[in-house]
Chain A
Amino acid sequence: GNSVTQMEGPVTLSEEAFLTINCTYTATGYPSLFWYVQYPGEGLQLLLKATKADDKGSNKGFEATYRKETTSFHLEKGSVQVSDSAVYFCALSDLTNAGKSTFGDGTTLTVKP
C-alpha cells in the first residue's frame, strides 16, 4: 500500500534560518504529491503540489521538487519567518487508490524571533 514518511519533529528555528523538512513516499502508481500547512486553530490548506516527476511546486517562498528516483518531496524555504510556525503535512494522491490521499504524520515547526 501507499505510505508517506516525514521527518520527525518538532523543529525549532530562528527567524531567517533555512528550513528543510524531509518527506519520502511509497506508492504503487504515479502519485501526485502535496504539502499541506495547518496554522494554529485552523484546518489544513494546500501549500504546494507537484503532479509528475521533476516538477517543482512553489508558494510563499516554499519549494519542493518531485524526485522519482529517490521517491522524495522535501520541503525547503530559504529564510523562515515567525508567521511560518505551523504543522506541515506531506501527502500523496494516487489514482490506483481511487485518488484517496495518504498523509505523513506531520512536522511541527516553531520559528523564534
Chain B
Amino acid sequence: EVQLVESGGGLVKPGGSLRLSCAASGFTLGGYSMIWVRQAPGKRLEWVSSISSTSGYKYYAASVRGRFTISRDNAENSLYLQMNSLRDEDTAVYFCARGSGPRPVPTGDWFDPWGQGTRVTVSS
C-alpha cells in the first residue's frame, strides 16, 4: 500500500525549531517530486515547499523562505522539512504529498497521496 506518514510535530516556542519527517512506504520515493502543504486551524490549504525527485529544484512560499529548508533522503525513503525561527502564524497541520513522477519542473504536477498530517503549534 502506498503510504506517507508525517512525524515531528509538537509544541514549540516562538523562535524555536522543529524538523518534520515524512516516511514513504509502498513506493520508491526517488521517483517522485514531493510537496509540503499546511493548514492553519479552520483555514485553507497553503503550499509551503516543493522539491524535485533528485533535489534539482526546491521552491518555498514567501512566508517561509529563509526560515524553512526542504530536503529528502531517497535512500531512506524520507522527506524532511527543517523549520527555524518559528512564528505564531506557522501553527498548522503540515501535510506531505507525493507528486506525479520525476518531473524536472513543477508545472503540470499533481499530488496524490497525502499523509495524515502532523500538528505544529507555536506558542509561548
User: A and B: real partners?
Assistant: no
Query: Which residues of B approach A to under 8 Å, CB–CB?
Result: none
Query: Which residues of A approach B to under 8 Å, CB–CB?
Result: none
